[in-house]
Amino acid sequence: MKISLRAKLILSYFALTSFTGILIFLLIYLTSDQRLKSLVNQEQQAEIIAEVLSWYQIERSWQGFEEYYANLHPKKPNASKLTERKGKKPPPKSAKVRINQHGILDADKRVLKQFLTFSPGEVPPDVYLTKIIPIEFEGKLIAWFVPKDGKGISLKSEKKIFFEHTNQVLLIAVATALFVAAILGGILAKYLLRPIEALTKASQAMAKGDLQQSVVKTSHDELGELADSFNKMSAELTLADTKRRQMTADIAHDLGTPLQVISGYIEMAQDLNSPLDPSKLAIISTEIGHIKRLLSDLTILSDADKQTLSVICVDISLTGLFTRIERAYQAQCEKAGVTLSTCVELEKDTALLDEERMIQVLSNLVSNALRYSKDGGEILLKVSQESAYLVLEVRDQGAGIQAEHLPFIFDRFYRVSDSRSNESGHMGLGLSITKALVELQGGVISVESGGKGQGCRFQMRFLMFDS
Ligand code: ADP
């Protein structure tokens, strides 16, 4: 059976109210009996003592008291079986006696009115007289009152009246509480469910493909946090979806451009029915190289995503690493009029890194630095230690990157200037691959730039040393 959250909330209020009502009723029922008995007993006791005093005040003797008392308290039929069980042996002195009838004794403890099995004039044994109360008149002891122990009191009528009244009050209280619970439950359910309804609506829209959803945060409690998390999730999914679409479009474009060039030359050769000359074959070969590089870059990124890209970190020489890079780029730098220098500021030359992956990382950074440097520029490769970190830097004095591009520079297919047609082969994957490779070795990469024409500083930090 499907019960809505609203109904469940209202039902739970109902259940709580009913439970509280029943609990109050039971507590009153179970605890009131004894108190009521003692109250009634005290009341009866005061009444009888007043009667005894009023008799004595007028008569000044006990002559005729029994008759006076019998008139005041006519015996109910079947009232006290004990009074009829005459001749019964008195209990031993040590026995605990249950007294379920008031007794009145004169100053010498002689019975003044029939009391249990004792007739007027008899003196009951002490065991019956443990709780007797003196009755005094004008400072003189005139009689004793033997109180009931209360256990024999029948509260039927008093209890009935009391419970009838209590039940009525409880019933009114529970009915009012149920009414209030229904109204409050309704209001609270509406207030609580409003953000949940908004979230349900928004997530249903997301399930249909409309990822850009935002719900209003109406409170600062757990529901508010849920709304915040939902909005964040929606924003991230939207961003991821936009990037995925952009990436598909970029891949299609970057594969399409070289394929167009290649198919153009092949069609030309077919039309002319003549073989392609070596220069055209070289262009085709370059374009094929671009396709291969794109596929290889995509494979690296996909392996990094699947976490199947392996790194083997062993102690490598950082001077050796820089020397390999210098050798690879020296000629190109000289040709471009750029100085490539290295700086190793370390006590120990070795670090736990994957040499081939680091060559790939530094090659990406140095080739970018070279591409964006002008004649006369400088590129510096530096390694140093900053507390527990090994810090590798690639600095250049080239074109720089404007602040608005910096947050996206490591994103896949992100290029600062849309120079796709001119810069075939540079598809904006180099820095995202670099970042993946650095992270795979436990490092982080960041970039700083003073802006256009101010050069760039790429910095990689690896936690290596004991701080
Ligand atoms: P690509 O492989 O197309 O060069 P990258 O991911 O390596 O792509 O770089 C992304 C963008 O970052 C480039 O389009 C370029 O605009 C910018 N960039 C990277 N390195 C530098 C640098 N050293 N100086 C200036 N801009 C740079």
Q: What is the pLDDT of residues 113-136, one digit of tens each?
A: 888 888 889 999 888 888 899 999
Q: CA angle, corner 463, sides to 462 and 467, nearest 5?
A: 145
Q: Ligand 1: which residue has its CA nearest to atom 16?
A: 416
Q: Is 379 in the pocket of ligand 1 (CB under 6 A)?
A: no
CA of 427 to the centre of ligand 1 (A): 9
Give percent of the chain above pLDDT 90: 48
What Rg value do the Cα atoms of the chain yield, rounded? Answer: 52
Q: How many CB atoms lie within 10 A of CB 320?
A: 11
Q: Say what the pLDDT of residue 115 is.
A: 85
- 163 pLDDT more than 80: no
**pLDDT tens, residue by residue, 325-361:** 999 999 999 999 999 999 999 988 999 999 999 999 9
CA of 237 to the centre of ligand 1 (A): 26
Q: Which of 247, 253, 368 has the most ligand 1 atoms within 8 A of CB, as the residue to mutate?
A: 368
**pLDDT tens, residue by residue, 447-465:** 999 999 999 999 999 998 7
- 161 pLDDT more than 80: no
- 40 pLDDT more than 80: no
Instruction: Measure the N-to-C terminal CA separation of the chain; round to a whole number of Å.
Output: 62
Q: Is the pTM of this model over 0.85?
A: no
Q: Which of 74-88, 97-111, 224-238 has the highest mean pLDDT?
A: 224-238
Q: Contact, 338 vs 375, CB < 8 A? A: yes
Q: How many CB atoms lie within 10 A of CB 169?
A: 12
CA of 377 to the centre of ligand 1 (A): 17
Q: CA angle, corner 284, sides to 289 and 362, nearest 5?
A: 20
Q: Is 426 in the pocket of ligand 1 (CB under 6 A)?
A: yes
Q: Dihedral (C-alpha) 261, 265, 270, 271: value to the nearest 10 degrees? A: 100
Of residues 28 and 262, more confidently modeled? 262
Q: Is 362 in the pocket of ligand 1 (CB under 6 A)?
A: no
- 86 pLDDT more than 60: no
- 79 pLDDT more than 60: no
Instruction: With cut-offs at 50, 70 and 90, classify the pLDDT of residue 374.
Output: very high
Distance between CA atoms of 204 and 251, rounded to whole angstroms? Answer: 31
Q: Say what the pLDDT of residue 335 is.
A: 95
C-beta pairs of 205-210 under 8 Å, 24+ apart in sequence: 206/234, 206/237
**pLDDT tens, residue by residue, 397-415:** 999 999 999 999 999 888 8
Distance between CA atoms of 72 and 52, rounded to whole angstroms? Answer: 11
| Cβ density class 97-125: b for 16+ within 10 Å, e for less | bebebbbbbbeebbbbbbbbbbeeeeebe
Q: Contact, 166 vs 36, CB < 8 A? A: no
- 420 pLDDT more than 50: no
Q: Ligand 1: which residue has its CA nearest to atom 14?
A: 415
- DSSP secondary structure string, 99-156? --S-EEEETT--BSS-BTTBPTT----GGG-TT-EEEEETTEEEEEEE---STT---H
Distance between CA atoms of 416 and 294, rounded to whole angstroms? Answer: 18
Instruction: With cut-offs at 50, 70 and 90, classify the pLDDT of residue 421.
Output: very low
Distance between CA atoms of 224 and 153, rounded to whole angstroms? Answer: 62
Q: Is 436 in the pocket of ligand 1 (CB under 6 A)?
A: no
Q: Is 461 in the pocket of ligand 1 (CB under 6 A)?
A: no
Q: Contact, 462 vs 389, CB < 8 A? A: yes
Instruction: With cut-offs at 50, 70 and 90, classify the pLDDT of residue 200.
Output: very high
In whole numbers, what is the pLDDT of the chain averaged over residues?
86
Q: Ligand 1: which residue has its CA nearest to atom 11?
A: 415
CA of 401 to the centre of ligand 1 (A): 9
Q: Ligand 1: which residue has its CA nearest to atom 25?
A: 400
Q: CA angle, corner 388, sides to 385 and 392, nearest 5?
A: 40
Q: Contact, 363 vs 320, CB < 8 A? A: no
